[in-house]
Structure 1
Amino acid sequence: MKKTHSFILVLTALVLFLSGCAGFQTSNNSNSTNNNENNNTEENSEGKTVIDFWTFWGSEIRRPIIEKIIADFNESQDEIEVKHTFLPFGDIWTKELASIAAGDPPDVVINDINATALRGQKKQAMNLSQFLEQDDISNRFYPELWDATLYEGDSYGIPFNTDTRVLFYNKDAFEEAGLDPEQPPTTWAELEEYAAKLDKKSGNDYERIGFYPLWGIGYDVWLLNANGQNYFDKENNVQIDTAKNEEVLNWLKTWKDRYGDKVVNSYQAQIDSQQGHPFFSGDLAMIAQAPTFYTQIRDYAEDLNFGVVELPEYEEGNGHTSWGGGFVAEIPEGSKNAEEAWEFIKYLTDVEAQTYWAVQNFDNVANVEAAEAASQSSEFTEDGSMVYQKAVENMEQTLLTPIPVVAPDFSSLINPNVDQFFLGSMTAKEALEKSQKDVENLIKKNQ
């Protein structure tokens, strides 16, 4: 994640996709399979029922991996053939909604986990209780992920993959600054102390920055880290305008004021370039990121001497709360082959397929047994094993932020106010007060 608020912005875009159906036609590329004009179930030449599986995994890395999983499933039985349809990330969900409205949806689609309940409420995703009553696979997954798929107690999607946020740090920079590389910061106070010691200046210019909290993760992750919960409690009461949230925002702004806009923007530009990332060159000593950040280190800075640890906690005993997202496999409402789709989803989220995906992609998976198996994979280097094991351990303190069905697109009401705070045109209190009122009004409209 490279830009401030990036995961909230992604969720906002997804909810906008969910808010209405645009007039798109479904993809008709060489890998897709469409039902015939009478919407009858399609069979291949061998008599297998053909189901259409939509993903946005079209890169040269991920596409071969998902297609290998599909091929293995197709060869594992003689009743179902899965066809893969790739659609770009920016198109897949608008086209899915259009296909649902037209009565001709795919049979399985990969979708955002944090908006699963919203799609269940809107009857865009199929209620899976009919399958789970006979085949309860809920205990395969991290409880936090499973709970995110529920609407009124029923699941509308099966968890596939996930992520978390951790702290990467440069061990050589620690030694140079007189810090123990085996004792990274554990609290916010230590984070500030270490960062100050790691800062390195030549005149007015920084040769190295110790840490900046809004590179890699957004302000909302720090709010979550401090509070141990999201903006909403279990009854969807809004908890935005709080004294702790005000304190956290002001704390974040002290870092911005300390380095100044020129330095912050200059480093951000380097971060955006990936290969020229200041963490790779030693110009940035610590950064909070998803564990998959390791793959960039592996590819662009293989000799970097680094460590990884959980996010520092607000204060001792507060908890090292982290944030995660992820994706689910859903059966869109109106699928003509729901039973066959369910059989494929079971395979897709079982240990073998999940372990293969985890190791080949260096990606956190939803299946607990598969995640633990991947952490012991001999295919990982020593550094890779270190990072992946930390990622698996970190799931115990990782929270998701499902979008409440009564507050779709709520983040678009908070982010502009917080942006104005960081720009200096609002106080933290003013930004939080306005956000609280705006979200409360949104909930009233949807109740």
Structure 2
Amino acid sequence: MISDLNRRDFLRGTAAAAAAALSAPALAQSAPITLRIVTSTPKELYDKLCADFTQKRPDIRVTVDTPSPDYDDLTLRVLRASITGDIPDVAFQGFNRINLLAQRDLAIPLDPFINAEGDLASLGYQPSLFDMAKVNGKTVGMPFAVAAPTLFYNLDLVEKAGGNPDKLPTEWPDIISLGRKIRTQGGGIMGLHYAYIGHSGAWTWMALVMSQGGSIMTPDEKDIAFEGPEGLWALEMFKQFGQAGQIEMSLDQTRQAFSGGMMGILGTSNSYLRSAEKAAAGHFRIRTTNLPLKPNGKLPTGGNAAMLLTRDPDRQKAAWDFVKFMTGPDAQTKLVNTTGYIPANSVAVKTPDLLGKFFADNPNAMVGVEQLPILTAWPGFPGENAIKITDLIRDHIQSVVTLHREPKAVLADMVRDVRALLPQA
């Protein structure tokens, strides 16, 4: 028989257990959600922006995986994670690989979230950039960092070579000629280097083809379209780069050479701008320009878009709020100040306290913004061999730059080899 004291203790214990059981779901629900994101470099930028986000939203934590060196490596990581069941919540994926993840049914369509927000244009989101993150009519990415192929000039070396820093060449023959003159200064000074190693997805090669009005793929994306004169011209350009003294270097090595004042002209992404200007400050002057284009020419949009990969509804809501922050005016302002990317949010550009004054005072950064009208989708090859195809193209280009093979023969082999790796009807 239970005594009154024991009965009271028993009832108090039972009530406490019941209260704990009832409050457990509420406590679990109020616990912070931790989002895991994967990116390419620079990790410091993502770490800083994620810290800013968690200050505003302490109920959502964000961890950043070790960054991939490029978008191709990032794509492979996501694909492997989908097999092992370790898929991240958000991936900042290169524009050219968005379709690959969507084809694997890994990308979460964002249209329901976008429709719930209402008028995205008033929030600074540009429809033209959204088109680059669509697959089969569905939006699967929010543009975050926008890059354009850009020429960087060391004006001091240009001047020493007899060039005019205030009137830089606007056509490739003159650019290559100036690069040759810069190289003759000796002392290990390099003239012109058009980087293709290290830029994923054959981006800078595509830029040459498309700058002439050419296309990489047919409109239905079932066959290649670069076998014509524009494709041959692009390879002829790489031959001329090699003849002008371009040597094989990694992307990091080329940028180190330019930052160290040992290279006159470098073709690379405008995302390098902040690093280049910081390194050059007090040592030499820098100016950036667009690539030469034909009237019907376009350039492929580099950079990335934030993609939701988690299938958990609660995590999706948290991830969407995170992505909105990352693509919003404040985060975009820090993105531009830290790198050289073109902001994907027009509110940041138009607001004087954010980027309005910054662009007015930094003409090199404004070059990227002025390129927006000529930027178009970054083509991605379809099928499971997508990354293998761009690796193959890089190897073919290498044989031309190193002057081992002629462009016409390489183009024929490139066309044959790429077609063999495309999905067969």
Provide the residue aligned with 2:134 in structure 1: 150
Match of 2:322 among 315, 337, 344: 344
Q: Share of identical aligned residues, percent?
A: 18
Provide the residue aligned with 1:420 in structure 2: 399
C-alpha separation between the residues in 1 aligned to 2:103 and 2:250?
Answer: 40
Provide the residue aligned with 1:227 in structure 2: 212
Provide the residue aligned with 2:289 in structure 1: 309
Provide the residue aligned with 1:401 in structure 2: 378
For residues 209-228 of structure 1, what are the structure 2 equivalents within 5 Å?
209-214=190-195, 220-221=205-206, 223-228=208-213
C-alpha separation between the residues in 2 aligned to 1:269 and 1:128?
Answer: 36
Provide the residue aligned with 2:152 in structure 1: 168
Instruction: Render the CA deviation track for 1:119-172: whole Å, top value 9, x for unaligned.
Output: 112111112232233335664444553222211100112111121122222333
Provide the residue aligned with 1:55 in structure 2: 38
Provide the residue aligned with 2:4 in structure 1: none
Match of 1:324 among 285, 289, 301: 301
1:353 aligns with 2:331: yes
Q: Larger C-alpha radius of gyration, 1 or 2?
A: 2
Match of 1:386 among 356, 363, 369: 363
C-alpha separation between the residues in 2 aligned to 1:43 and 1:347?
Answer: 27
What TM-score comes out, normalization by structure 2 length?
Answer: 0.76
Instruction: Render the CA deviation track for 1:154-201: whole Å, top value 9, x for unaligned.
Output: 011211112112222233334444433211111113223433444434
**Structure 1 residues 116 and 200: CA distance shift in structure 2, 3 A:** same
For residues 2-13 of structure 1, what are the structure 2 equivalents within 5 Å?
none
For residues 130-149 of structure 1, what are the structure 2 equivalents within 5 Å?
130-135=112-117, 139=121, 140-149=124-133
**Structure 1 residues 42 and 54: CA distance shift in structure 2, 3 A:** farther
**Structure 1 residues 230 and 372: CA distance shift in structure 2, 3 A:** farther
Provide the residue aligned with 2:93 in structure 1: 111
For residues 49-88 of structure 1, what are the structure 2 equivalents within 5 Å?
50-56=33-39, 61-74=44-57, 80-88=59-67
C-alpha separation between the residues in 2 aligned to 1:270 and 1:339?
Answer: 37
**Structure 1 residues 150 and 241: CA distance shift in structure 2, 3 A:** same
Instruction: Render the CA deviation track for 1:326-379: whole Å, top value 9, x for unaligned.
Output: 22222215234223322332232222332233324454332233245454355x
C-alpha separation between the residues in 2 aligned to 1:113 and 1:285?
Answer: 30
Provide the residue aligned with 2:7 in structure 1: none
C-alpha separation between the residues in 2 aligned to 1:415 and 1:362?
Answer: 25
SS in 2 for 1:61: helix
Gaps of 5+ in 2: 1-23
Q: Aligned-pair distance for 1:86?
A: 2.6
C-alpha separation between the residues in 1 aligned to 2:158 and 2:67?
Answer: 42
Instruction: Render the CA deviation track for 1:70-101: whole Å, top value 9, x for unaligned.
Output: 223305xxxx4233243342686556445544
Q: Is the 8 A contact 1:161 1:328 kept in 2?
A: yes
Q: Aligned-pair distance for 1:235?
A: 2.2
**Structure 1 residues 195 and 272: CA distance shift in structure 2, 3 A:** closer
Provide the residue aligned with 1:299 in structure 2: 278
AA aligned to 2:225 is Q
Provide the residue aligned with 1:25 in structure 2: none
C-alpha separation between the residues in 1 aligned to 2:141 and 2:401?
Answer: 37
Q: Aligned-pair distance for 1:54?
A: 1.3
C-alpha separation between the residues in 1 aligned to 2:285 and 2:346?
Answer: 29
Match of 2:344 among 366, 391, 394: 366
C-alpha separation between the residues in 2 aligned to 1:43 and 1:104?
Answer: 27
Aligned length: 386
What TM-score comes out, normalization by structure 1 length?
Answer: 0.73
Task: Give the structure with the larger helix fraction.
Answer: 2
Aligned-CA RMSD value: 3.6
Q: Is the 8 A contact 1:103 1:334 kept in 2?
A: no
1:436 aligns with 2:415: yes
SS in 1 for 2:102: helix
Instruction: Render the CA deviation track for 1:406-442: whole Å, top value 9, x for unaligned.
Output: 4623323433333334455543222222222333333
AA aligned to 1:390 is V
